[in-house]
A and B are shown apart, each in its own frame.
Chain A
Amino acid sequence: MPDYNEFLERIFEVLKPFAKQGVLLNEDCELVAELGLTSLQVMELIEQLEDHFDMSIPLNILPDIRTVRDLARALEKLES
């Protein structure tokens, strides 16, 4: 079962194309406010993580997720 760091690493990987100039990807990065992800892009991010980890991520968890850390934590919790 993947742990927090594996989720984190993968999220960074998937987010690479979204990292704007000057924004350093870290756990505190806010997906929408800082990286500017649209709702469609958030869903693409989720789908890529779902495929990679062979898991389904319910939409219900999304309202509580602002940062990369929030997302990695939520995935860790789902898999536990």
Chain B
Amino acid sequence: MSLFDKFQPIADIQADLKELGVMPFGAVTEKLLSSTEAIVNGHKVILAGTNNYLGLTFDPECLEAAKRAIDESGTGTTGSRMANGTFAEHVALENELAAFFDRRHAIVFSTGYAATMGMGSTLAGPGDVIVLDADSHASIYDGVRLGGADVIRFRHNDPADLEKRLRRLGDRIDNTLIIVEGIYSMMGDQAPLAEIAELKRKYGGLLLVDEAHSLGMLGEHGRGVAEAAGVEDDVDFVVGTFSKSLGAIGGYCVSNHDQLNAIRFAIRSYIFTASPSPSVIASTRAALRLMQERPYLRDQLWDNARRLYDGLKALGLEVSPEVSPVVAVTINDRNQAIDWWNRLLQHGAYVNLVMPPASPTDDSLLRCSVSAAHSPGQIDRIVAAFAAVQN
């Protein structure tokens, strides 16, 4: 017995993959050709698994803003938001996020992970209750475990099951935080937020929604599933990330609760880590502005999503439940999923290979995400790559 024994199952899988000559985890992007094309593991591919939903990573305005910030403010902040790491631009971004979400307060974090993990671990502690969707992201699970509240899962996207759990809580509902996502990261399905909000109104508690995969995609202003469902007033906290539709790295939480300013200084993942670099803040601010100035990006994204979804479905593949910027193909057999992933790469399409326990079931997934920057022709080539590996 040693500390290392528990890693043996991972080493075994790595050995299997090496034997097969595949490297799905940590595939190396050797050269980016654009926001939608790159050389990955030696293959020229269309990027169909990057979460770069609006395709802004190479937008000239974002690039220019980041370069200027480096020249003016240097490469890093070298400190915590609580100490020397709050620059005027961090505060400006917080104000812009608050304005965009039409909320009174915003916090900027160094990663999306730090935002979700930090809010989940800080809002509810020992004696409190967290009720979360079973398919919640690892950053949510990590946070709530760290916080020490009683953690109760409800069946994925099942308001009836959520209701049972809220009812059983009795008086403890006053100390309860409900956590769901907007669009779920693996299958791309949306939370039934209208029903969840109604339950919150009926029973009580606070509601936090992680809109990591829905920022810029849904609702009149692009604020996400809460806006699309018309229940923003019932959502106490929205968290999300800059690493997907905004093409950078970092996270946020917005809220109308004035307590957020006190909560900020209780969040360890906010305090005990350096703040985002000036270039990251600058490109994020540019991307947030462009997202609002170019609503057509959203239309392109959804057109592409539908094109990919319909194309893969027409091949007879088992695709995720609804059209979404995330399109997941379920493959029951792990080795087949690995084989397909590898051959897709050879046929010019990079997608994400997801295996249990990261996938929500015992099956594996070939998870695709589309971008507004994909051309219809590129989407067709992704579909053609799937058709080729299928045969």
Q: What are some 25 contacts across the A-B interface (CB < 8 A)?
A: A38-B356, A38-B362, A40-B357, A40-B361, A40-B362, A43-B134, A43-B153, A54-B164, A54-B168, A56-B164, A56-B165, A56-B168, A56-B169, A57-B152, A58-B129, A58-B150, A58-B151, A58-B152, A59-B145, A59-B151, A59-B153, A60-B145, A60-B148, A60-B150, A60-B151
B168-A59 in contact (CB<8A): no
Nearest first, the 9 A-B pairs at minimum CB distance are: A58-B150, A59-B151, A56-B152, A56-B165, A56-B168, A58-B152, A58-B151, A39-B357, A60-B150
B202 within 8 A of A: no
Q: How far is the CB of A51 from chain B (nearest CB, A)?
A: 8
Contact indicator A40/B152 (Cβ below 8 Å): no
Chain A positions within 8 Å of B357 at CB level: 39-40
A58, B130: Cα distance in complex, Å: 9
Interface residues in A23-64 (C-beta closer than 8 Å to B): 38-40, 43, 47, 54-60
Within 8 A of A (CB), among B134-185: 134, 145, 148, 150-153, 155, 164-165, 168-169
Beta-carbon contact of A47 and B151 below 8 Å: no
How many Å lie between the Cα of A71 and that of B357 in the bound state?
23
How far is B158's CA from A47's CA once the two chains are assembled, in angstroms?
13
Q: Which partner residue on chain B sits nearest A58 by CB separation?
A: B150
Q: CA separation between A43 and B141, bound complex, in Å? A: 14
Question: What is the bound-complex CA distance between A80 and B61, given in angstroms?
Answer: 62
Return the contact of B155 from the options A47, A55, A57, A58 (Cβ within 8 A).
A47
Tell me, rounded to whole Å, the shortest Cβ–Cβ distance linking A80 to chain B: 15
Whole-angstrom CA separation of A54 from B161 in the bound complex: 11
A41 to chain B, nearest CB (A): 9
CA distance A36 to B151 in the complex (A): 24
